[in-house]
Amino acid sequence: MMRYFKLVNFELGRFFKLYGVIIGITILSQLVGLWVVSNSYMERANYAMFEENLSPAQFVSDNGEMSLLVLTRTLWFLGPIALGAIALLFNIFFVWYRDWFGKNTFIYRLLMLPTARINVYLAKATSILLMVLGLVAIQIVLLPVESVLLKWLVTRDFRLDLAPAEVVSGFRELMIILPAGIIDFILAYGAGIMVIFILFTAILFERSYRIKGIVFGAIYVALATGIFLSPIILEGIIGTNYLYPMELLVLEIILGLIVSAASIWVANYLLTKRITV
Amino acid sequence: MIEVKDIKKKFGRKQVLNGVSFTANKGEITCLIGINGVGKTTILNAIMALTPVNSGEILLDGQKVTKQSFEKITFIPDAITMIPQMTIAEAMEFMDDYYDSWNQNRATELLGFFKLKQEDKISSLSKGNTAKVNLLLGLALDVDYILMDEPFSGIDIFSREQIADVFTSHLIEGRGVIITTHEISDIEHLIDKVVLLDEGIVLKEFNSEEVRESEGKSVVDVMREVYKA
């Protein structure tokens, strides 16, 4: 167990520089974006009031109020989130292939550690999950900070103050990243972990059987996804909602756990019996 | 004792190993000899469970290789097994973190022996010094068996001499070593046992000292006989 924690720490350390850059870009882009978007709004408001003699109420009625929701729909806000998502998705593959290719053959060392090889797999998955949660935590901290900044940048007449939860619920895509309740959180991140396990296992198929492994990996991904989505697919074929939403939810959770456990089991088999350096 | 029993291995349609069997004893240096592509590295990988075999069995002191075995046996491949961005000190720290068998005193001794600086980054080292770091990381483990894949390939004459000196030192004494090479000259006088491989099979397995005494032949003489036959 101790070696698993050490491996998690080690894997986090290896991605830390790039991760730091992503965090830096996220903070900088959102804060600069807020400043730019707010200033541009106020410039338009001032122009309308002084040049067109509109009252603040008339301007707001024509242009809407300035709130954090306006920021969330700009590239300043969405760009770094997309960048983080792409980087972490890329890392799912990079976290394995960098140990095989390039100047080093670090995979030899990882596979020769006196610990169960599945710990390497679990540590790599954990490090990705922790990095995702880290980015989410930064977003949770950033929203109230941005809320305060907005109060400095935009006068009361033009501003709509929203609580961070209201910002999130006003923006559908953000709700996936920052779910409203604990159940939603577990579902969104549980599904995310399952996807990491499925992809990791597919990568290990490729690393074990090479070209044939790509086919095996693709079949595995299709099979795992099919099993997980089978109730929804079946309902689609039957054409009726056979299950109550709660039943469907429980069934999906059970299937998600089965698919995740199966992925770990298959990965363990591949790592101990089939892997080739 | 390491026992390799009738192992077979195919890469695609090519039968690389076609029933290879030999043993390597503790306290002896066993040398696997054969031309490039004959399957020497594959045998070492298979012993360390780094590649599967299609059939056959490999035993380490009568047991199959498990995670616990890696405190008992180590493998020094021909490429560095650490992250190049690490310094030598960080690499040693990594080994100390994960291996109970890591012997820091011996590692420090090896640093001096190879004249390496622990603050140097692995990526900044010459090929010879990188090979020495690789050797250091393996030899500083208190393990019974060491596998080495082509430790002399592509490095300068002085580094080769330094590495060859390791074999006559207490750093190797008492341990079982399997070494692969296609150039025998550097270590001919050091090896106890020779396994000659070709086309996926063992052509001959012999004790070099015995052959020298009873037939008056060197390892190279026997190789000439076997490979030219």
DSSP A232-256: HHHHHHHTS--S-HHHHHHHHHHHH
Q: Do A10 and B94 touch (CB under 8 A)?
A: yes
> Residue B78: which H helix or E strand, with range?
none
- The answer for residues whose C-beta is within 8 angstroms of residue A113's C-beta and 6 or more apart is A3, A119, A120, B67, B70, B98, B99
Q: What is the mean pLDDT of residues A151-158?
A: 89
Q: Which residues contact B92 (CB under 8 A, 6 or more apart)?
A: B102, B104, B107, B118, B136, B137, B140
How does pLDDT run across A221-235, given as a tens digit for each residue? 999 999 999 999 998
How would residue B228 be classed by pLDDT, with cut points 50, 70 and 90?
Answer: confident
CA dist A163 and B61 (Å) reads 67
Residues B152 and A150: their CA atoms lie apart, in Å, by: 66
Identify the bridge partners of residue B18 per DSSP, sorted by sequence position.
B8
pLDDT band, very low/low/confident/very high, at A128 (cuts 50, 70, 90): very high
Give the model's pLDDT for residue B156: 84
Instruction: Give the H/E segment covering residue B24.
Output: strand B14-24
What ipTM did this prediction achieve? 0.94
At residue B72, the pLDDT reads 97
Q: Which two tokens stand for residue A262?
A: 């199966």
Cβ–Cβ contact B98 with A under 8 A: yes
The pLDDT score that the predictor gives to residue A80 is: 92
Mean pLDDT confidence for A106-134: 96
Neighbours of A127 (CB within 10 A): 23
B102-141 residues touching A, CB cutoff 8 A: 123
Q: Is the pLDDT of residue A216 over 80?
A: yes
Q: Does B51 touch chain A (CB under 8 A)?
A: yes
Question: Is A104 a residue whose pLDDT tops 90?
Answer: no
Least confident of A3-7, A238-242, B94-98, B102-106: A238-242
Domains and CATH numbers, chain B: 2-228 (3.40.50.300)
The answer, for A117 touching chain B at a CB cutoff of 8 Å, is yes
pLDDT tens, position by position, A29-62 = 999 999 999 999 999 998 988 888 888 888 888 8
Helix intervals (H) in chain B: 40-47, 88-98, 104-113, 127-139, 157-168, 208-215, 219-228
Going by pLDDT thresholds of 50, 70 and 90, the confidence category of residue A253 is: very high
Percent of chain B with pLDDT over 90: 74
Q: Is the pTM above the cut of 0.80? A: yes
**Is residue A180 over pLDDT 90?**
no
Residue recorded with tokens 């019974």: B144
- Structural contact between residues A206 and A214, judged by C-beta atoms closer than 8 angstroms: yes
pLDDT confidence of residue B32:
95
pLDDT of residue A72: 87
Distance between alpha carbon A145 and the CA centroid of its chain, in Å?
21
Determine the 3-state secondary structure of A276 from DSSP. Answer: coil
Give contacts of A111 with chain B, Cβ < 8 Å.
48-50
Task: Tell me what percent of the residues of chain A surpass a pLDDT of 90.
Answer: 65
Per-residue pLDDT tens over the stretch B165-176? 888 888 888 999
Instruction: Please state the rounded mean pLDDT for residues B192-200.
Output: 93
Q: Is the pLDDT of residue B45 over 90?
A: yes
Q: Is the minimum CB–CB distance between A63 and chain B shorter than 8 Å? A: no
Would you call B79 and A104 a contact, using CB atoms and an 8 Å cutoff? yes
A272 close contact with B: CB closer than 8 A = yes
pLDDT given at position B6: 96
Q: Is B139 exposed, middle or buried (0-12, 13-18, 19+ CB in 10 A)?
A: buried
Task: Assess whether pLDDT exceeds 80 at residue B26.
Answer: yes
- pLDDT of B229 reads 73
Judge contact between B31 and B194, C-beta under 8 A: yes
Contacts of A276 in chain B (CB under 8 A): 45, 50-52
For residue A261, the one-letter residue type is A
The verdict on A104 touching B (C-beta cutoff 8 Å) is yes
